[in-house]
Amino acid sequence: MRHVTVLGFDYAFASAITGVSDLLSTAGVTWNYIHGNEMASEFQVEIATLDGQPVKCAHRVEIAAHKSIEDIKNTDLILIPTIAGDIETTLRRNSGLIPWIIDQANKGADIASNCTGAFLLAETGLLNGKQATTHWGFIEAFRERYPRVDLQPDQLITADGSIFCSGGGMAWLDMALFLIERYCGYDVAMASAKSNVVDISKSSQAAYSGIPGKRYHQDAVILALQDWLDVNFNQPTCVAQLADQTAMSERTLIRRFKQATGDSLVHYLQCLRVDAAKKLLRGTHTSIETITQQVGYQDVSSFIRLFKKHTGLSPSIYRARFS
């Protein structure tokens, strides 16, 4: 069982503390309970504050802490919730958390932040030279304060070594499922999603892959195109056809898709196809040749190279590891 420490501090979002605690604590439990199987908790989750006192969250919600940070000598994962109050004030009042976070990182702990919690994580210096994301409304402030961080504002989740960030106040949900899949595997993550009636399809990843999705934008035309590609990814298509479909020039479509999602149109389509192939490799005995055709490719050798580029594994090794 992995030990998880959720950091509590005043003016944090309560849901980013309690919600992620609930989802991680019930991994391996709720699904098995529903189906009458033996329950096995995957995570032990504790809320810790500087002094062990309750957290006075935003909107007058108070949460009791299990421990002070000094009571926790070792932890496997640290979760930093959303800062809902004034960021500068929150960072100043909680500077005492910084040495403990750094110490735990040096001992091998993974660290994940949600939304503006990335500011507190960046204060440690652990994000320097690493990819990160945060809430879209605080991008410029983050860049100005932490110029050495490789900010990826269009990403829903970033993963760089042992450090993870999610953007958006409620993105803790996506982060929790991401972490369950990372530590416990796809099946446990899917079971957690189903038992909590949560959609995992837009943010799920198995090992060694990026996350398709990137829907935290307001371009209605691109969102509609993403919806269409989600269903028709395996159909023969090209940029010219998609440009006609969206009533844009190819150049305009390429530019707007990149601006909205942070990804190229071609790479996005590749991600959808590779993700579909991973599901088939995990859940069926279908031959790689047939899977290649089912996800929209014709040349098996080219598909194998593409799959390995996206996942770091050949299809056969991926199947052997994750099926």
CATH code of residue 309: 1.10.10.60
CATH of the domain at 83: 3.40.50.880
Shared domain for 238 and 173, answered yes or no, is: no
Q: What is the pLDDT of residue 210?
A: 42
By percentage, how much of the chain surpasses pLDDT 90? 61
- Does residue 200 lie within any of the structural domains? no
- Does residue 139 lie within any of the structural domains? yes
The residue among 197, 204, 198, 246 whose CA lies nearest residue 221 is 246
Shared domain for 161 and 291, answered yes or no, is: no
Shared domain for 163 and 282, answered yes or no, is: no
Tokens of 184: 């416990």
Q: What is the pLDDT of residue 146?
A: 97
Q: Residue 230 belongs to what domain range?
A: 207-323
- Does residue 23 lie within any of the structural domains? yes
Shared domain for 172 and 254, answered yes or no, is: no
Compute the distance between CA of residue 145 and CA of residue 119 in angstroms, rounded to an integer.
9
Picking from 195, 216, 244, the residue at the C-terminal end of a domain is 195
Shared domain for 189 and 215, answered yes or no, is: no
Q: Is 121 exposed, middle or buried (0-12, 13-18, 19+ CB in 10 A)?
A: buried
Shared domain for 169 and 219, answered yes or no, is: no
Residue ranges of the chain with per-residue pLDDT less than 70: 30-33, 35, 39, 199-217
Structural domain count of the chain: 2
Q: Identify the three-state secondary structure at position 75.
A: coil
Q: What is the pLDDT of residue 39?
A: 66
Compute the distance between CA of residue 75 and CA of residue 67 in angstroms, rounded to an integer.
13
CB 3 within 8 A of CB 76: yes
Q: What is the pLDDT of residue 205?
A: 31
Shared domain for 102 and 245, answered yes or no, is: no
CB 156 within 8 A of CB 216: yes
How far from 175 is each of 15, 160, 300, CA to CA, in Å? 13, 14, 34
